[in-house]
Amino acid sequence: MDFKIAVLPGDGIGPEIIDQAIKVITAVGNKFNHSFNFRKGLVGAIAIDKTGNPLPVETLELCKSSDAVLFGAIGDPKYDNNPAAKVRPEQGLLAMRKELGLYANVRPVSTFPSLIDKSPLKKELVQGVDIMMIRELTGGIYFGKPQGRSEDGNTAYDTCVYSRYEIERVVRLACEYAMKRSKKLTVVDKANVLATSRLWRETAVAIGREYKDVTLDFMFVDNAAMQLIQYPSRFDVIVTENMFGDILSDEASVITGSLGLLPSASIGLSTSVFEPIHGSYPQAAGKNIANPVGTILSAAMMFELAFKLKKEAEIIRYAVEKSIDADCVTEDLNRANPKSTSQVGDWISNYIHEGPLSR
């Protein structure tokens, strides 16, 4: 089959890790007879530098006319250190989420057995962790109006808004995931304090009735933050609102040992976006040291979710596991004897090229 992939490398280590994913996608294409038309677009700080806009219109059009978007990372210290900057790279990412209607961010968190001692948690706690974190991505305090400052500059405000419809669609998606897994869904909120959370609870209960086999469990976000560390294997599918999901998914990600390993998919009304969960890691940019695995596994999610090609997704995951078993890993996982970003990408794409057609 033929696929059009919009490639948005973005900032920092984005271009280096994206190159590895492209190698891997190309290797899968050669093996299974698919062809890909990779079309690059600007986003983030680099887009601001070149066009003044963190999400140029051409980039958005490119995304809309593609079968999937492969995204690197955005962010640059020159903006982080300047709170007065009017145009910021992150606005490009938020605008893309809104414009493509990407209402759900799906982040699987599972452990690689050979990396279990890299986790900051005790081995017994981490063994068998397999969490599917689903974060609402286009609502809540990230997008609610009004947002701003009082005239005298001494008061600032953000507004958290959710409609029943926005909650329903993401909870339904989470129930679908739960049906395919252990049929358990934890809804995380702060219903003891927030009106939006009370609407989340009410709506989740109603949607839960459509999924009789799914057991719903409600948890306040502060408690969830604690239990993720104390007892991570108790969780299976988690669904939560935008900002709680932002925080909890970073927390959950370190359980596996490296933030650099984890992929994500953002799905919704238009083209889906696949990106690693880590940021642009500017200190490492251009050094060929960043871990490309999160991006490569995001490409696996792209095959599965956007192209509906499960075997192709599995072969990527298998090759990644093999590379880790062979200790072909970057410095975040082996400080004493690290491989470079491109060596890891080469190893994985060669394995796909030469290895078996399935696990």
- Which is closer to ligand IPM, CB of 168 or CB of 250? 250
- Residue 250 annotated as catalytic: yes
* Residue 240 exposed, middle or buried by CB count within 10 Å (0-12, 13-18, 19+): buried
Residue 315 near residue 303, CB atoms below 8 Å: no
CB of 303 to ligand IPM, least distance (A): 21
Specify the 3-state DSSP secondary structure of 222: helix
CB of 221 to Mn ion, least distance (A): 15
What's the helix, strand, coil split of the chain in %, to 5? 50, 20, 35
Q: Report how far residue 220's alpha carbon sits from residue 298's, in angstroms, rounded to the nearest whole number.
A: 29
CB of 211 to ligand IPM, least distance (A): 27
Q: Which residue has the CB atom at the shortest distance from ligand IPM?
A: 90
CB of 90 to ligand IPM, least distance (A): 4
* From 142, 177, 281, 318, the catalytic residue: 142
- Mark 73-102 with x for binding to ligand IPM (rule: CB under 6 A) and - for no binding: --x--------------x--x---------
Q: Report how far residue 89's alpha carbon sits from residue 163's, in angstroms, rounded to the nearest whole number.
A: 27
Instruction: List strands edge to edge, sheet with 35-40.
Output: 35-40, 2-10, 68-73, 273-276, 263-267, 104-110, 130-136, 237-240, 184-189, 215-220
* From 130, 246, 311, 322, the catalytic residue: 246
- Which is closer to Mn ion, CB of 99 or CB of 246? 246
Binding site for Mn ion (CB under 5 A): 246
Residue 249 near residue 235, CB atoms below 8 Å: no
- Residue 190 annotated as catalytic: yes
Phi, psi of 143, deg, nearest 5: -125, -10
Decide if residue 321 touches ligand IPM (CB under 6 A): no
Contacts of 152 (CB under 8 A, 6+ apart): none
Q: Among ligand IPM, Mn ion, none, what does residue 93 contact (CB within 5–8 Å per kind)?
A: ligand IPM
Among 99, 158, 176, 246, binds ligand IPM (CB under 6 A): 246
Q: Among Mn ion, ligand IPM, none, what does residue 140 contact (CB within 5–8 Å per kind)?
A: none
* From 49, 80, 222, 327, the catalytic residue: 222
- Residue 165 annotated as catalytic: no
CB of 250 to Mn ion, least distance (A): 5
* Residue 35 exposed, middle or buried by CB count within 10 Å (0-12, 13-18, 19+): exposed
- Residue 183 annotated as catalytic: no
- Which is closer to ligand IPM, CB of 42 or CB of 352? 42
CA nearest neighbour of 160 among 186, 178, 137, 142: 142
CB of 88 to Mn ion, least distance (A): 15
- Which is closer to ligand IPM, CB of 25 or CB of 102? 102
Structure tokens that stand for 294 in this block: 């999160």
Tokens 């086999």 map to which residue?
213
- Residue 142 annotated as catalytic: yes
The site for ligand IPM (CB under 6 A) is made up of: 75, 90, 93, 246
Q: Which sequence positions are flagged as catalytic?
A: 142, 190, 222, 246, 250
